Each structure stands twice: as structure tokens, then as C-alpha cells.
Amino acid sequence: MGVLIGLVVGLGSLLGGFIAMGGNVGVIWQPSEYIIIVGIALGTFIIANPLYTIKDTGLAFVEAVTGAVPKRKDFIAILGLLYALMRDLRSKPRNEVEQHIDSPQNSAIFQSFPSILKDKELTQYICDYARLIVIGNARSHEIEALMEQEISTVKKQKTKPASAVSTVADAMPALGICAAVLGVVKAMGAIDQSPEILGHYIAAALIGTFIGIFLSYAVLSPLATKIKLTREKQCQPFIIVKQSLIAFMNGALPQIALEHGRKTISSSERPTIDEVENEAISHAIQPASAPVQQAA
């Protein structure tokens, strides 16, 4: 919603100010200039990025516009799942715990938190390191370094669309100049025409420069920043998992280990201790005690 509001405010101010100074809005509409600038930008974007990044950029744009980031309820669900899992790791035999991490789709614990189970990457991340804890032959500092490395890899992969859009944004002013130069070439070909016609051609050429600068600094650069912030927030659950499991490996009780994860959440979105106890821990008690469903 913020992206749409920002675009409306920006375009409204642009057009309103231009009209207020007596400008003719129709002059801004130069389809040929738009085709040149946007077409070259799209071509360079396709050249510079693999197909996966191109597709992911479209998804990242939708996520940025809709604000698809983890909310308070998602953090509570993560803490609840971790509590149930760590409690079983602490109190149940290895073979019972392995059923949860070997087949999370059939696990009573994971099935009780469908929003987490739906995120296959996060689910796999949790299961991988829970399995290392079950093996019991790994040092916590080594696991922590491994988790940090994976989080860095995940973050780098998720923020590739932001870098791709930012690169195009940096090139837009120059692409606007390309369109303007072509417009000037056209105007020079009509140098023998009347000043009115020649003025129209020169104005159309200057619109190319304007559009390139506007799209760069008022649209694509802010959008790249928004995509980056959105994708970085989507990495927060991985950090919560890391801090909680490392604290648990170092001997903390499940309730205390959750505090290590909870403290990594920003203060504006962080659930309180009471919320964690009333919603995360209490919700996890029954699922953790339920029998594991067998696959059909």
C-alpha cells in the first residue's frame, strides 16, 4: 500500500506542479520516447540476469507492493514450533524426534503451524539443524558458524532482485539521454520547418531526459530499496531459529532459548513474554504431545 500511495503522491505533485506553472500535460505524453527508454531498460535487464532472477524480480515486486513480510503472528508461530521441537529434543528418545524432522509434512508438530510448514526453505532449515542436534556430535560454535553462513547465502539470494532493479535504475538517466539524442536527431532533420514544429520536436526530445531521470530516482531506486527491505525482513525467521537453537545447544531450557530468538525481533514487532507464554508455548504443548501421523 505504501508503494502505491507514494507513486500517487509523486505523480500528483509532478503533474500538479507542471499544470500550476502553465504547462500542457499532453506534451509529457511521448509514446516513442517511452518505448525507447523502457525497451532498452528491459533488454539490459534481461541480458544481465538469469531467468530465475527475472522471475523472482516479478515476485519480489508483488511482495514489496503488498508488504509480504513476517508479522507478529508469524513470529509467535515460529517460537511455538521451536518450543515444541526443543521440548521433544530434550525429553523424548531420538527415534521419536527423528520422525518429526525426517518427515515434517507428516509431523504433528509442524502440521500445527501450517504457516511455517508452507515455507519449505524455512522448514528445511529448521529440520537440518534439529537433525544435527539429534546426532549430538557437533559443537555449538561450529553449528552457529554454519547457520550464519547459510543465512548469508539465503539473504544474498533473496536480495538479488533488489540489486538487479537498482542496476537498471542507475542506467535510466543515461537511457533517457539516448532517447533525447534520437529526438534531437529527428529535430535536426526538420530544421527547415517552422519554429512551432521544431519546438515540438525539441520538447519531445527533452521529455526523454526527463522520463529517464524520473523513472530512476522517483520509481526504480525507491522500489529497489523497498524490495531489499522486504526480502531482508523475510530472513528474520532464520535468525530467530539460529539464536534459539544455539542457546538450546548451549544448555538453555526451551523457554529460555526462546528468549534468545525473541530478542532478535525488532521492538515494533516483537511479541511480549506474556504473548509467547500464552500463545506460543501453550499452543505448542498439545501438538508436541500428539502422536506423529503416519504417511498414507
pLDDT tens over the chain, length 296 residues: 778 888 889 888 988 988 898 888 888 888 888 999 999 999 999 999 999 999 999 999 999 999 899 999 999 999 999 999 999 999 888 888 899 999 999 999 999 999 999 999 999 999 999 999 998 777 889 999 999 999 999 999 999 999 999 999 999 999 999 999 998 898 888 888 888 888 888 888 899 999 999 999 999 999 999 999 999 999 999 999 999 999 999 999 999 999 999 999 999 899 999 989 888 787 665 544 444 444 33
| This prediction's pTM | 0.86
Separation of alpha carbons 86 and 141, rounded Å = 18
Q: Residue 137: which region, alpha, beta or left (left: phi > 0; alpha: psi -120 to 50)?
A: alpha
The x, y and z cell numbers of residue 135, run together, are 546426532
Instruction: Delimit the domains of the chain by residue range.
Output: 29-296
- Phi, psi (rounded to 5 degrees) for 209: -60, -45
